[in-house]
Amino acid sequence: MSKGVHVTGGGQEVNSSSPSKLILDIGVDSDGVIRDRSNTSPVSFLRTVSPDTYDGVRCVNIHEGAIKIDKPHEIRKAWIGGNLRVQCRFSIYQPTPQNIIFGSCYGGDKNCPMTIYLYFSRGSSNMYFIYNTNWDTMTTIKTRIVNGKWNSFDIIMRNFKSDIYFNGSLVTSGLDNYSNHGVVRDYDVLIGDQSSNIGPAGHKFGYIEYLRIYNDSYY
């Protein structure tokens, strides 16, 4: 188990039909180390992050922590260009009311494009994608997400228009954000929390098997 801030780099075994386009691949490698298997960026662990097995799946336990992408410039470039793909397989475990799967945002800052957000409160269990520059311009990826079940999403952006899949089914088609696309700010880019929560406290999320980002929308 890893606590505090630890830095790892390198990578092995990228499972992709187009590895040259892969700019982030967070998961547990064959040697049991959590890393970016695309070799694009080292990562840091905030609070407690560890390799784990949940419901038979080898995964990253980020329930008590988060992963910081130390060199996110390739991700920012892909977003600005309007062509990218984000894939993730995850399981929610006893979450706090608000959670960030991926993003670069502060709670009070309206500029938060590319944030993938979970809300568990007052009977809701929903996932949202912030496709513009404002929290108010989010689209719903999924409602009534079941706690403790493995799920996946796939966001495919081509020329600023996004198709979004959840567990293999198309849920949104042609979502256009060209007119107010925005720039991913120079805040910390995190998996499992928002950029303002880098101290001892934070949101509780669960597990990820992988989170991958490609610098175009190959399909």
Region of 215 please: left (phi>0), alpha (psi -120 to 50) or beta. Answer: alpha
Q: Find out whether 124 and 92 touch, Cβ atoms under 8 Å.
A: no
Instruction: Give the pTM.
Output: 0.81
22 in a domain, yes or no? Answer: yes
pLDDT for the residue 11: 31
8 in a domain, yes or no? Answer: yes
Q: Find out whether 204 and 62 touch, Cβ atoms under 8 Å.
A: no
Rounded-to-integer distance, Cα 142 and Cα 130, Å: 13
- Smallest Cα–Cα separation from 142: which of 169, 161, 173, 112? 169
pLDDT tens digit sequence for 21-41: 899 999 999 999 999 999 988
Say which CATH number the domain at 201 has: 2.60.120.200
175 in a domain, yes or no? Answer: yes
25 in a domain, yes or no? Answer: yes
105 in a domain, yes or no? Answer: yes
What's the structural domain count of the chain?
A: 1
- The boundaries of the domain holding residue 197 are 2-214
Rounded-to-integer distance, Cα 68 and Cα 35, Å: 11
pLDDT for the residue 175: 85
169 in a domain, yes or no? Answer: yes
**Per-residue pLDDT of the chain in tens (219 residues, 90 and over written 9):** 443 333 333 333 334 444 448 999 999 999 999 999 999 889 999 888 999 999 999 999 998 888 988 888 888 888 888 888 999 999 988 777 677 888 766 656 665 667 888 877 666 688 888 777 666 667 778 888 888 899 999 999 998 889 999 999 999 999 887 666 665 566 778 888 765 545 445 567 789 999 999 988 554
Count of C-beta atoms within a 10 Å radius of residue 170: 11
pLDDT for the residue 111: 58
219 in a domain, yes or no? Answer: no
CA 115, 118, 9: angle at the middle one, nearest 5? 55
pLDDT tens digit sequence for 76-94: 888 888 888 999 999 988 7
Rounded-to-integer distance, Cα 61 and Cα 1, Å: 10
170 in a domain, yes or no? Answer: yes
pLDDT for the residue 171: 94
pLDDT for the residue 53: 96
